[in-house]
Amino acid sequence: MRKIAIAVIGAVTMLGLGWVAYAQSVQGGNQAPTNKAAYFDNTEIQKIWAENEAKQVSNKRVMEGGTYSVNIRIVRDDAAPMVHALSSDLWIVQAGTATAVTGGELVDIKTNPRNDDTLGSSIRGGVEQPVKFGDMVFVPPGVPHTFKGMKGFRAFLIRFPTK
Q: Please tell me the predicted confidence (pLDDT) of residue 99.
A: 97
Q: Please tell me the predicted confidence (pLDDT) of residue 123.
A: 97
Q: Please tell me the predicted confidence (pLDDT) of residue 1.
A: 27
Q: Give the E-state strand segments of 34-139 in sequence order.
A: 38-39, 59-64, 69-73, 82-84, 87-102, 105-107, 110-111, 117-119, 122-124, 127-131, 136-139
Mean pLDDT by runs of 10 across the 163 residues of the chain is 32 32 36 82 89 89 87 87 93 96 96 85 97 97 96 92 82
How many other CB atoms are found less than 10 A from the CB of residue 11? 17
Q: Which long-range contacts (CB under 8 A, 24 or more apart) does 77-80 make?
A: 77/148, 77/150, 79/146, 79/147, 80/119, 80/120, 80/121, 80/146
Handedness of CA 7, 82, 60, 149 (dihedral sign): negative
Q: Please tell me the predicted confidence (pLDDT) of residue 150.
A: 93
Domain ranges of the chain: 9-161
Q: Please tell me the predicted confidence (pLDDT) of residue 20.
A: 28
Q: Please tell me the predicted confidence (pLDDT) of residue 54.
A: 92
DSSP lists the bridge partners of residue 122 as: 107
DSSP class of 31: B
Q: Phi and psi dihedrals of 10, rounded to 5?
A: -65, -40
Q: Read off the pTM.
A: 0.77
Whole-number Å distance between alpha carbons of 158 and 72: 9
9-161, superfamily in CATH? Answer: YhcH/YjgK/YiaL (2.60.120.370)
Q: Please tell me the predicted confidence (pLDDT) of residue 2.
A: 30
* Nearby residues of 32 by Cβ (< 8 Å), 6 or more positions away: 26, 38, 63, 64, 65, 66, 68
